[in-house]
Amino acid sequence: MPPLAPERLKAFYVQMTRIRRAEEAIVARYPEQEIRCPTHLSIGQEAVAVGICQALSEQDVVLSGHRCHAHYLAKGGSLRRMFAELYGKATGCCGGKGGSMHLASPETGMLGASAIVAGTVPIAVGAALAAALRGSDDVSVAFFGDAGIEQGVTHESLAFAALRRLPVVFVCENNLYATLTPLSKRQVSADVWPRAVAHGLPGVSVDGNDVLAVYEAAAHAVARARAGDGPTFIEAKTYRWREHVGPNFDVELGYRTQAELDAWMARDPLLRHARILETSGVLTAAERLALDREVEAEVADAVRFAKASPFPEPAALYADVD
Amino acid sequence: MRELKYREAIDEATRQAMAKDERVFVLGVGVDDAKGIFGTTRGATLEFGPNRVFDTPLSEAALTGVAIGAALRGLHPLLVHARNDFLMLTMDQLVNNAAKWRYMSGGSMRVPLTIRAIIGRGWGQAAQHSQSLQAMFAHVPGLHVVMPATPADAKGLLLTALTTEAPVICLEHRWLYEKTGPVAEEAYYTPLGHAAVVRQGTHVTVAAMSLMVLEALQAAESLAAESIAVEVIDLRTARPLDSETVCASVAKTGRLVIADTGWRSYGVSAELAARVGRECFGDLRAPVERVALPDVPTPCTSALERAYYPGAAEIGAAIRATLLVRGRAPAAPSVEARGKEFSGPF
């Protein structure tokens, strides 16, 4: 793979920073009780969303699950409209009717998210089927977690995508836990990807905290899909820093250890990429701080926008239903 | 007017929809095989070929999600199931996704998706191949459920479904497949949520759906000999449910019998009875009667099947009950006794 241009490398950093700062703003604002919906944060997992979406073009589409902020933002969703959605406002990306678990931005290719684990995996396959039937070279991506492979519908989807060689990339974001339950209590193997291989599609495992590794795997999978060579399964190993749902850390619950969390925080995907950029001279520490300030201003603006926006009128309750 | 069988009307509607709209394609288990879902997808297979009519693995849940995804990307899938019992495998996709995607996205996306599924009956098909599950789907805001009783409506309602930018479930009764009736040759579109008065009468209203419309007409014919004039309404769609047409009839007759192909409890008959009780309480001169399946699963043996399925005789008895006319149930042969068209095995 040819080396990435410095501007692309910086874009990776900005994208990850935007997700991180946005979710830190949620953490900060949550106690105000104005964000009144369950939020599942992906702090620590940003490299997966960014590495994958940076390999996509604008007309490609993604689908996601309950932990969807990162995918929405990485696929170009508006930060203002995301915060407005979290605040339940009429200006939200779903008019306040979806909330944190159902972010959507069809105009940028984010087709939505289901709060039922793996619920959108077949939908991504269907988007790929539509591309194949219409003869377009659009690619679709299904984002799901390690528990997603425990759902029957995922296996059905993998098998059908392989059978028809559909242009879809399955991205399993393995963060090792389903709520409080570790992978070892739910699955025989610590690796998810071999189960895709059993269905007849290539499976790969990548370091999900290394945005460049994720990008490289994604670029390869997307090129395969676009060329008509069929689906690919990418398992990105990563880690959720905070509780399953909500803004807090939760090591005190005892289902994981502080040492484990510390080890994963030491592999912070954002700092790791920043160090690479600094060492290679792409981005100095001062330039990075300036970029951080810009993103922080953008997030602050989005929060202001959300707070200042109106709630939907009561009549909206009955709109948008067939 | 030319007559077609119910199944031929479905086949024609499918082909006409596909000819008019290149977004429409057909998928499902066995749709392109030699039998083509009792002939209903055979014509489309021969006319449009494997890019627009294709078989699928037996993965009903995923294929429903696949259809939703294709719909979100601008196509209009027609997903076909040989039995509506198989839809139980797809409830997450139907209820949590198809029905809600438009609402959850604040109206920025729609799901133009048509699902056909067949209600089985008889020949010992037992508890998992003969259910009539319209109430399950009709309960969910965001889903439409249509239940055509005639070849004309089988065509008109399917064509409407295939031009509706929303999920529509078409439930077709297997016993109607060989029935014939007049069907216009051109494409036409029967609106959702409009019941049809199929027989005029002044004494009692019978509101029925699907196969029960035929049973109701038989009961009405039988009672006409006793000068009891029964008005028969074909509900045609379970959701939206046209209670207005029913209430207009009840305003005239003061009496209502509801004949449902599904179970008695928590069903479409309960919903309609509740609406009539609310919307035209003052017009009712007798309690609303319901003719529906008893609250047990379908048995296999024909001895128990006969006791399980109500027909014209039970509708006749219910009509008499609303009139407070005692006496024997009219000797109305049921569809099963009259016709020998369906001899199984499927």
pTM: 0.96
Domain membership flag for residue B229: yes
Residue A176: per-residue pLDDT: 96
- The whole-number average pLDDT for the span A145-157 is 97
Coil/strand/helix, residue B59 = coil
Domain membership flag for residue B212: yes
Domain membership flag for residue B343: no
Give the distance, in angstroms, between the CA of residue B299 and the centroid of all CA atoms in the same chain.
22
User: Is B229 found in the same domain as B157?
Assistant: no
Angle CA(A150)–CA(A156)–CA(A160) in degrees, nearest 5? 145
Domain membership flag for residue B248: yes
Full residue range of the structural domain in which residue B259 is found: 196-331
Residue A146: per-residue pLDDT: 97
- Contact at 8 Å (CB) between B43 and B53? no
Of the residues B140, B160, B182, the one at which a domain ends: B182
CA distance B95 to chain A (A): 11
User: Is B46 found in the same domain as B162?
Assistant: yes
Q: Over 90: is that where the pLDDT of B335 sits?
A: no
- The whole-number average pLDDT for the span A87-108 is 98
Residue B131 CA to residue B154 CA, distance in Å, equals: 19
User: Is B150 found in the same domain as B30?
Assistant: yes
User: Is B9 found in the same domain as B133?
Assistant: yes
User: Is B247 found in the same domain as B176?
Assistant: no
Sign of the alpha-carbon torsion through B8, B13, B19, B24:
negative
- pLDDT band at B345; cut points 50, 70, 90: low
Q: Number of folded domains in chain B?
A: 2
pLDDT in tens, B151-187: 999 999 999 999 999 999 999 999 999 999 999 999 9
Domain membership flag for residue B141: yes
- The whole-number average pLDDT for the span B102-113 is 98
Domain membership flag for residue B140: yes
User: Is B103 found in the same domain as B56?
Assistant: yes
Residue B58 CA to residue A195 CA, distance in Å, equals: 19
User: Is B71 found in the same domain as B39?
Assistant: yes
Furthest CA-CA distance within chain A: 56
Which residues neighbour A32 within 8 Å (Cβ) at sequence distance 6 or greater?
A: none
Closest by alpha carbon to A154, among A205, A120, A202?
A120
Q: CB count, 10 Å around CB of B323?
A: 17
Of the residues B159, B182, B205, the one at which a domain ends: B182
Say whether B173 is catalytic: no
Among all residues of chain A, which has the CA nearest to that of B103? A320
Which residues neighbour B281 within 8 Å (Cβ) at sequence distance 6 or greater?
A: none
pLDDT in tens, A94-103: 999 999 999 9
Residue B324: per-residue pLDDT: 85
Percentage of chain A modeled with pLDDT above 70: 100
Which residues of chain B neighbour A100 with C-beta distances below 8 Å? none
- pLDDT band at B339; cut points 50, 70, 90: low
Residue B119 belongs to what H/E stretch? strand B113-119
Cβ distance B68 to A104 less than 8 Å, yes or no, reads no
Residue B320: per-residue pLDDT: 96
- Residues β-bridged to residue B113: B167
Cβ distance B62 to A124 less than 8 Å, yes or no, reads no
Which residues of chain A neighbour B164 with C-beta distances below 8 Å? 322
Domain membership flag for residue B221: yes
Domain membership flag for residue B34: yes
Cβ distance A94 to B105 less than 8 Å, yes or no, reads yes
CATH number at residue B80: 3.40.50.970
Residue A242: per-residue pLDDT: 97
User: Is B142 found in the same domain as B85?
Assistant: yes
User: Is B163 found in the same domain as B284?
Assistant: no
Residue A3: per-residue pLDDT: 84
Which residues of chain A neighbour B102 with C-beta distances below 8 Å? 320-322
- The whole-number average pLDDT for the span B122-145 is 96
- pLDDT band at A1; cut points 50, 70, 90: confident
User: Is B295 found in the same domain as B260?
Assistant: yes
Bond into B333 cis (ω within 30): no
For chain A, the helix, strand and coil percentages under 3-state DSSP, each to the nearest 5: 50, 10, 40
The structure tokens listed for A135 are 């003869």
- The whole-number average pLDDT for the span A269-283 is 96
Residue A321 CA to residue A177 CA, distance in Å, equals: 35
User: Is B14 found in the same domain as B135?
Assistant: yes
Bond into B151 cis (ω within 30): no
List, in order of start, the domains of chain A with CATH numbers.
Answer: 6-239+250-310 (3.40.50.970)
- pLDDT band at B341; cut points 50, 70, 90: low
- pLDDT band at B340; cut points 50, 70, 90: low
**A33-47, B36-50, B321-335: least confidently modelled range:** B321-335
User: Is B47 found in the same domain as B148?
Assistant: yes
Residue B342: per-residue pLDDT: 62
